[in-house]
Structure 1
Amino acid sequence: MQDRGTHTLPGLIRLSAIPLGVAIGLGGVCAALLVVQMGCLARIVDDLAFRSHPFSAEHALISSLLAATLARCLLQWCADMAGERAGILAVSSLRQHLFRHLFRVGPVGLAGEETGAIATALTDGIDTLHPYIAQYLPRAAAMVVLPLLILGVVAGLDGWSFLILACTGPLIPVFMALVGFRAQAMMDRQWTQLLLLGSSFLDSLQGLTTLRLFGRARERVSLVIQMAEGHRQSTMQVMRVAFLTSAVLEFFSSLAIALVAIVFGARLLTGHVTFYTAFFVLLLAPEYFAPLRAFSASYHARQNAVSAMTRLSALMALPELQGDAPSSLPSAPLATIICRDLRTGYGDGPDVLLSLSATFGSDVLSVITGASGSGKSTLIRLLLGMMPVRSGKISGLDEAGHPIPQKAWKIGWVPQAPTLLDGTIADTLRLAAPDADIEHLRKAASLAGVLTFIENLPDGFDTKVGEHGAALSGGEIRRLVLARALLTDPQVLVFDEPTADLDPENAARVAASIQRLAQGRIVIAISHRPDVLSRAGQVLCLRDGRLVPEMDKGIAA
């Protein structure tokens, strides 16, 4: 398991601690250079305007001013790059952690989650964390470092100015905190609407054919449009709050700077302060409020991050059902799978399997049959490692009787509704083994009984299959998926209704291939069709989560 701290914002910050520390440190150096820059500028203007110094006498100060300006620009660029690096590192690390975690959760653990909401969280949700790391945190540090530094300098120059800045500066964070509570609630609502919009849009796309058949497509489109309009209105409400906050902060900062200027003007007329002091403080006063304004401009990044992290934390909190495969696989092949007194169920629901015991051996086609809801798919999911066992044990043995852990089993899985990605036949097969050469592809296709079909195509293995295998028949898709499963030379082959929805000719071909593949490996199939049952060496009949005698299989089916 990866570091669970990554599902919190503090844990996310730790992932990018080094570049983020560099960005904050360079920001502090830039703050010091800014004070030096303004001090040099104030001294140059004072010398030229009021001390009658020739321009040639200011070369040292001008050189210092230019050097400080250039160094500050360069270091600020480096600080921004370090902040961007920190954001990229944190986001990429979180995305990797989250993908690994979701793979361990498995399809059964994710069955209760909306696909659209997960997709939105993995894309827009994670992307909202980048400005939080890259902009908000460095600006939050600058909001502390630069104002305190300027206050310290002003305190040594003029007490009245220090008092004005010290009193007006904290008003900005206080006002932001007051507005933040309202803005956070609006941001949470906006994020929830975005998740609902993503889920509804994806569901509409997936069910477009059904919606059109029932004449409900326009109604669904109208619903998506209404949800999009709701999200737009929520976004505009958040933007209005952000603009209002910026306007109020500008008002406070401008008022404070004007107050400092008025006080200095009156005191300059009476001779109670020097021009250098007044000009230096007036140059620093806008810079005193600049990081506060910049921080307020990026404050919405924090609100976005908090809202997105709530959903991401919920995904990270899903219990893991699968572990990593061992680094080294056992040398002996798996010969037997033994299930003893298995009990399991979904979530907090009742047991679906009730004290089930069975043995699956190699060189034998084992067929699991039974009525819908009898526990067939649940048993397969246990064997595939997609579900935890509540009680009982699943063990694997080699030919010598030595145990082989379930994580080390090499399993090939052929589902009832296989998925083909848009690409060539070779791309489809290489999904299981990206580095497989053409000879390995031919061998797997031959074992699946589909090599002749592929070679008779005009482009052979380079033939486009189309999205979801649109260019192929159902039987051709089944045999291609079987070839894909065989490409990794699995020790266990598992089929879910391998001949369902196939015509008799294709069903017979698939069933014959399955029987032939049982030599030297464990083959398990869910089926109630006679073309598979007639070739079975072992039939397990399930009823209400229990095994029943084989003679009852016709009733169970």
Structure 2
Amino acid sequence: MSDQTDAAGPPRVSGKPVDPRLLRYAASSRWFFVAIGAIAVAQTAVIIAFAGLLTRVIVGAIERMPLPELAATLGALGAVVAVRALLLWAREAVASRAAARVQTELRAALIAGIDRLGPEWLDTRNSAALAVTAGRGLDALEAYFGRYLPQLVSTAVATPILVATMWWQDWISGLTVVLTLPLIPIFMVLIGYATRATQQRQWSTLQRLAARFADTVEGLSTLKIYGRQHRAAASIEKVTADYRRETMKVLRVSFLSGFALEFLASISVAVIAVSIGFRLIDGSLALGVGLFVLLLAPEAYLPLRQVGVQFHAATEGVAASDVVFDVLDAAGTRAHGTAAGIGARSAHRGGESAPRRTGSAPNRASGVLRIEGMRVRRGGRMLPPVDFVAAPGTVTLIEGPSGAGKSSVLAALRGAAGFEGTAQIGDAAIRSLAPATWLAWAGQRPGLVSGSISENVALGDPAPEAGDIRRALELACAGELDPARRLGVQGAGISGGQAQRVAVARAFYRRLRGRSVVVALDEPSSALDPDTEARLWRNVRAVADQGAAVVLVSHRRSAREIADQVVALNALEVVR
């Protein structure tokens, strides 16, 4: 079962209409704003033209305009309606295309950011919550780009132009709009705060539901053995009910806010209409001017009103994008800090770990792993120091009781745990290298994925070699498994011992392909019978004899038979 924390805690929804980080992390959003702005200008011009032409038609009909002139005006009005429909289609098309591109860019940036932050950072996050953010969360950006942002740009462009036009034609109506229009954003801000808190709870509940479901599925076999599957199902049901309740709260607030905004806009338009009506009666306002201004009045309030309505449809995407931006900010800060010399400062402070870097493979001729004074940071505590040298052609056995830090040493080597001290492969510090360039590793959890056994063994190899896959399976004592056999999620379809051996075969495969200097195995025989275990030890010894530096973690005393050196750990001290 996973004990990881949430991906980034409760989502922090930005208080700004548009988060400037969107422009920084999604380049496609820049041309989107330019295109939407141009369309908004054209739509505003069309709205004014429509109101003017419709006013002319109505006034002309009342004043008995000549039929040919009236027909021409009606034709122009029809053309304006067609242009308005075309602009609406163009806005939808631009928004849809921009949303798809931004989703792709942010997903790629999120993966790259997680890669820069490294396994140590990822080990403190819940992968299910991150998956929800990258999947459903970023999918919700469709509403953000398709509805909210176009409406926001339209409001910024159309509202000032429409108000200025109304003021130019009838300053009293324009003044009325200027005085009543601010009421809508005031209510939007008040409602927005309530919506943001509700949306944060909904998003947090969804992440918790995803994490709980993923953990339950992963540990289902264990739960089944101990008869706890019904309790786990009840827990998921409870979280689902919480999510349903939070979703209904979001919908309730959305409907109430929509009603409030519509009510304010309707009252404001009614005030303008009454004012125009009285002035038409006393003859102080011409019919054409009054009708033109009255047709523009709803359009002046509509953009701002729709911003509030569409904000609710976009809040889920905004919450997810904020989580993504926080991850990218952390990755950018980490990369910038390293470039500025964090590595040197860390060494001065005692060798505190710096983030991983993608580097070239170390010199294989000098592929000696040197660990001096390594103190691994796990669970808020520093483990006792570890010292050893693992040279090519040797097997270094790390043993000790549970909790002594055996697996933590391997976690530090692969970047999943911070440490103090010195760790070098050849003449390069492992902090400056990507683990994939020098390390082949198999942990206690096989970490198999859906696909064939062959795909699992050759995971990460762009050009798998069938012969090496079969050889790796034989070395891992899994030669009886068909490489073409398909596995389900988490390696479903084979036994636990077979899954463990496939994971070991993956490490051996990387060594056979020349992609690793060090092979690290964490309890590779824990699910094996004595005969299979003895065969595995012989094969591990053979891999070492062929030039690999093998670091082996095992509690089995039989592992001592193949070890060149033993590093014994306990809770108090480390001895050689």
Which interval holds the TM-score relative to the shorter structure? 0.7 to 0.9
- Does the 8 Å CA contact 2:422/2:429 hold for their aligned counterparts? no
1-side partners of 2:412 and 2:125: how far apart?
20
1:487 aligns with 2:509: yes
1:57 match: 69
1:85 match: 97
1:27 aligns with 2:40: yes
1:520 match: 547
Distance of aligned partners of 1:193 and 1:152 in 2 relative to their CA distance in 1, 3 Å threshold: same
Shift of residue 493, structure 1, vs aligned partner = 0.8
1:343 match: 375
Stretch of structure 1 that moved more, 75-84 or 59-68: 59-68
Distance of aligned partners of 1:330 and 1:89 in 2 relative to their CA distance in 1, 3 Å threshold: same
1-side partners of 2:330 and 2:462: how far apart?
30
2-side partners of 1:179 and 1:381: how far apart?
47
* Length-normalised TM-score, structure 2: 0.82
2:398 match: 368
Shift of residue 379, structure 1, vs aligned partner = 1.8
Stretch of structure 1 that moved more, 92-101 or 534-543: 92-101
What residue identity is the alignment partner of 1:245?
A: S
1:537 match: 564
Matched ranges for 1:278-293 at <5 A: 278-293=290-305
Shift of residue 250, structure 1, vs aligned partner = 1.9
- Does the 8 Å CA contact 1:13/1:90 hold for their aligned counterparts? no
What residue identity is the alignment partner of 2:22?
A: L
Task: Pick the aligned partner of 1:418 from 438, 446, 470.
Answer: 446
Task: Pick the aligned partner of 1:407 from 424, 431, 434.
Answer: 434
Unaligned runs of 5+ in 1: 1-5, 455-459, 550-557
Matched ranges for 1:146-225 at <5 A: 146-225=158-237
1-side partners of 2:321 and 2:428: how far apart?
46
- SS of structure 1 residue aligned to 2:494: coil
- SS of structure 2 residue aligned to 1:272: coil
Stretch of structure 1 that moved more, 277-286 or 421-430: 421-430
- SS of structure 2 residue aligned to 1:353: coil
Shift of residue 475, structure 1, vs aligned partner = 4.7
- Does the 8 Å CA contact 2:399/2:566 hold for their aligned counterparts? yes
1:3 match: none
- SS of structure 2 residue aligned to 1:368: strand
1:552 match: none
Task: Pick the aligned partner of 2:483 from 444, 448, 461.
Answer: 461
2:349 match: none
- Does the 8 Å CA contact 1:20/1:86 hold for their aligned counterparts? no
Task: Pick the aligned partner of 2:280 from 239, 258, 268.
Answer: 268
- Does the 8 Å CA contact 1:154/1:162 hold for their aligned counterparts? yes
Per-residue CA deviations over 1:109-152 (Å, capped at 9, x if unaligned) read 34443444334333333344443344222212222322221111
2:265 match: 253
- SS of structure 2 residue aligned to 1:298: helix
- SS of structure 2 residue aligned to 1:462: coil
- Does the 8 Å CA contact 2:13/2:319 hold for their aligned counterparts? no
What residue identity is the alignment partner of 1:530?
A: R
Distance of aligned partners of 1:115 and 1:382 in 2 relative to their CA distance in 1, 3 Å threshold: closer
2-side partners of 1:303 and 1:158: how far apart?
38
- Does the 8 Å CA contact 1:28/1:146 hold for their aligned counterparts? yes
What residue identity is the alignment partner of 1:42?
A: T
1:498 aligns with 2:524: yes
* Length-normalised TM-score, structure 1: 0.85
The percent identity for this pair of structures is 29
Distance of aligned partners of 1:295 and 1:465 in 2 relative to their CA distance in 1, 3 Å threshold: closer
- SS of structure 2 residue aligned to 1:91: helix
2-side partners of 1:137 and 1:254: how far apart?
24
Distance of aligned partners of 1:375 and 1:7 in 2 relative to their CA distance in 1, 3 Å threshold: farther
- Does the 8 Å CA contact 1:527/1:533 hold for their aligned counterparts? no
Shift of residue 108, structure 1, vs aligned partner = 4.0
Unaligned runs of 5+ in 2: 1-11, 335-353
- Does the 8 Å CA contact 1:336/1:362 hold for their aligned counterparts? yes
- SS of structure 2 residue aligned to 1:494: strand
1:98 match: 110
Per-residue CA deviations over 1:407-444 (Å, capped at 9, x if unaligned) read 37421111123132233222222323142143443444
The size of the alignment, in residue pairs, is: 530
Stretch of structure 1 that moved more, 69-78 or 33-42: 69-78
- Does the 8 Å CA contact 2:158/2:303 hold for their aligned counterparts? yes
1-side partners of 2:235 and 2:492: how far apart?
30
Distance of aligned partners of 1:464 and 1:121 in 2 relative to their CA distance in 1, 3 Å threshold: closer
What residue identity is the alignment partner of 1:380?
A: L
1:45 match: 58
Distance of aligned partners of 1:532 and 1:474 in 2 relative to their CA distance in 1, 3 Å threshold: farther
2-side partners of 1:379 and 1:35: how far apart?
71
2-side partners of 1:7 and 1:541: how far apart?
49
Stretch of structure 1 that moved more, 462-471 or 19-28: 462-471
1:12 match: 22
Task: Pick the aligned partner of 2:251 from 239, 249, 266.
Answer: 239
2-side partners of 1:244 and 1:107: how far apart?
45
- Does the 8 Å CA contact 1:493/1:522 hold for their aligned counterparts? yes
2-side partners of 1:424 and 1:147: how far apart?
59
- Does the 8 Å CA contact 1:12/1:94 hold for their aligned counterparts? no
Matched ranges for 1:299-338 at <5 A: 299-301=311-313, 303-304=315-316, 307-308=319-320, 311-312=323-324, 315=327, 322-326=355-359, 328-329=360-361, 332-338=364-370
- Does the 8 Å CA contact 2:118/2:356 hold for their aligned counterparts? no
- Does the 8 Å CA contact 2:357/2:433 hold for their aligned counterparts? no
Distance of aligned partners of 1:259 and 1:350 in 2 relative to their CA distance in 1, 3 Å threshold: closer
Distance of aligned partners of 1:494 and 1:466 in 2 relative to their CA distance in 1, 3 Å threshold: same
Distance of aligned partners of 1:475 and 1:179 in 2 relative to their CA distance in 1, 3 Å threshold: closer
Distance of aligned partners of 1:104 and 1:288 in 2 relative to their CA distance in 1, 3 Å threshold: same
Distance of aligned partners of 1:337 and 1:207 in 2 relative to their CA distance in 1, 3 Å threshold: closer
Per-residue CA deviations over 1:440-492 (Å, capped at 9, x if unaligned) read 434444554544x24xxxxx432234444444345543443233223332221
Shift of residue 207, structure 1, vs aligned partner = 3.8
1-side partners of 2:225 and 2:66: how far apart?
89
